[in-house]
Amino acid sequence: MEKFLLLIRQDLDKVNQMTKEEYQVKLDAMLRWVDDLAKSGNYVSAEPLLTTGSYVSYDGVSSDGPFIEAKEAIGGYFIITANDLDHAAALAQTCPQVISGEVGIEVRPLRIK
């Protein structure tokens, strides 16, 4: 099994407009998905991200979060195991917020030596 990083890309405006009840419903669905990943042996770890932060490059700090005035940003990440990239992408497609069209997930293999 290989490890993969799933970057959760979401519309920050929509996230910030959710009520506590709407947020809880989405969180519960994500927790059920995580539970399914764990039961299948594919879950390694995950964390949500705050919308604050900085973008740093050779020229210094060029932006404070949300980054580069983007409407969409990375709202969190997962590390999973999968047989290959296709398997990892198939697992990402089962995310309830992907199914509903609320988020996109970038799937990247981890370079582990």
Residue boundaries of the structural domains of the chain: 2-109
Give the model's pLDDT for residue 37.
Answer: 97
In the predicted model, is pLDDT for residue 78 greater than 80? Answer: yes
pTM of the full structure: 0.85
**Percent of the chain at pLDDT above 90?**
62
Domain 2-109: give its CATH code.
3.30.70.1060
Report in angstroms the alpha-carbon separations of 45 from 4, 67, 77, 102: 11, 24, 8, 21
The distance between the two most distant Cα atoms of the chain, rounded to a whole number of Å, is 45
Position with higher pLDDT, 39 vs 16: 39
pLDDT confidence bin for 14, thresholds 50/70/90: confident
3-state DSSP helix/strand/coil percent for the chain, to nearest 5? Answer: 35, 40, 25
Residue (of 110, 30, 59, 92) closest to 22 by Cα position:
30
- Sheet of strand 103-109: strand arrangement: 43-48, 72-82, 2-11, 103-109
pLDDT confidence bin for 65, thresholds 50/70/90: low
